[in-house]
Amino acid sequence: MTTFGFVRHGVTAWNKEGRAQGSSDIPLDDEGIEMAERVARRLADEQWDVIYTSPLLRAKRTAEIIAEKKTDIKLVEDKRLRESGGGLIEGTTENERVAKWGYAWRKLEMGFEPNEDIISRGMGFIEEMKEAYPGKRVLVVSHGGFIGRLIKELVPIADFSMDLENTSVTIIELQEDRNQCHLFNCISHLQTIS
């Protein structure tokens, strides 16, 4: 069966400020580039057959850095892998949201991309990859919110409630009876001296 490796993009200035990014196109900062270089070194000796990435700058640059170490495989942009749309909260911190809309802002209509739309585009991508790459290993560089929702859909019996770390690696093998998560939210590459 097809195996998917999910990599969250490197850190951005907005990540550090606690700003909701959503579909805003925010680039990696210097630390984010270093994180991407570390995950690229980690993945360099692993077998992957293709790399797919969100077109948003922070993910695309992370994927490009990974692809520089894997020049024998194709890097493909796919807009279905973009982060979920954050509506009115994009660019704001929690304190700014509370100041503007009150503590109950989560109960207001903020124009978020509907969860069913996110799952639909994500699972559409997964199904297409299963057909295109049966028995292969597909590396996907995307965003924390999007990957998190997809993991919960692919492996619904496990508890994956923690937020994904920047440049974390998660590996899921699709199987006929039950998908298997072999690695979740791993950032060992950030904990070693390079």
CA distances in angstroms from 176 to 72, 181, 184, listed in the order given: 30, 14, 20
Collapse the DSSP code of 112 into the 3-class scheme (helix H, G, I; strand E, B; otherwise coil) and give the result: coil
Catalytic hit among 9, 37, 90, 143: 9
Closest Cα to residue 11, out of 29, 23, 38?
Answer: 29
- Which residue ranges are tagged as binding site for substrate? 8-15, 58
Catalytic hit among 31, 77, 83, 153: 83
Beta-carbon contacts of 59 under 8 Å, excluding residues fewer than 6 positions away, are 9, 53, 81, 82, 83, 141, 142, 143
- Which residue ranges are tagged as binding site? 8-15, 58
Identity (one letter) of the amino acid at 153?
A: E
Per the annotation, the verdict on 83 as an active-site residue is: yes
Per the annotation, the verdict on 182 as an active-site residue is: no
Task: Give me the active site residues, please.
Answer: 9, 83
